[in-house]
Amino acid sequence: MRRVSPPSPVPGDSAGERGGAPEHAADQPDAEGQPDAEGQPGSGDVPDRAASGGLPGGRVVAVATLAVVGVATVEVLRTEQIAIWAGITLVAVSVVASLLTRAGDRSLPAMMPPLAFLAAAAIAGQALVPSGSDPLWLREALMLLDVLGANAPWVVAATALSVTISATRHLLDRSRARRSA
């Protein structure tokens, strides 16, 4: 997001003389601080999430990944393994992420499931690293292979659903655009 510098003060005019209120709505930046089409801050145009077609993909993927990591951490603390609840959460947030992401970011939820589960395994799986005389990197790698191998069906299912939903939404948008043109 770029910054918009505040308007330069007019000599002899202070906020106290105006009662703190701007004389014109165009003197203030809009809700996001972006200038309007004329280059002037503050036309009052606030983008509508429904009109833009969804939420920013980066934010959706970050929240979904945090949800998977959180559930995996709780599951490790309770059962000493990463299993069904983390997998169900991965599939659920993958579907929701694919449905909520705006058109320009639809590839992000399709890439999210493997990366989210890898993050969950790497973070929550620290409690699962076996003790031993082997080097730590080897024990970490074996733990990741064990966790990812056992949960591969969840990762594949979540990825397949995300790709299918994203591709279907893309095709529906293209057919709507052709009909309206």
Question: Per-residue pLDDT tens for 43-61?
Answer: 444 444 444 578 888 899 9
Q: Compute the average pLDDT of residues 65-69.
A: 95
Residue-range definition of the domain harbouring residue 42: 18-47
Percent of the residues in the chain that have a pLDDT greater than 90, as a whole number: 45
| CA-closest candidate to residue 89, choices 154, 144, 166 | 154
62 pLDDT more than 60:
yes
Residues 39, 122: one domain?
no
Residues 155, 124: one domain?
yes
Q: Is residue 66 part of a domain?
A: yes
Taking the alpha carbons at both ends of the chain, their separation in whole angstroms is 32
Query: pTM for the whole thing?
Result: 0.68
Q: Compute the average pLDDT of residues 4-30.
A: 52
Three-class SS state of 35: strand
Q: Is residue 12 part of a domain?
A: no
> Which residues lie closer than 8 Å to 51 by C-beta, 6 or more apart?
none
Measured in residues, the chain has a length of 181
**Whole-angstrom Cα distance, residue 135 to residue 141?**
10
Residues 93, 31: one domain?
no
CB neighbour class for 110 (10 Å; exposed up to 12, middle 13-18, buried from 19)? buried
What mean pLDDT is reported for the chain? Answer: 79
Amino acid 8: pLDDT: 56
> Which residues lie closer than 8 Å to 123 by C-beta, 6 or more apart?
69, 72, 73
Tens of pLDDT, residue by residue over 118-140, are 999 999 999 888 888 889 999 99
**Whole-angstrom Cα distance, residue 97 to residue 93?**
6
77 pLDDT more than 80:
yes
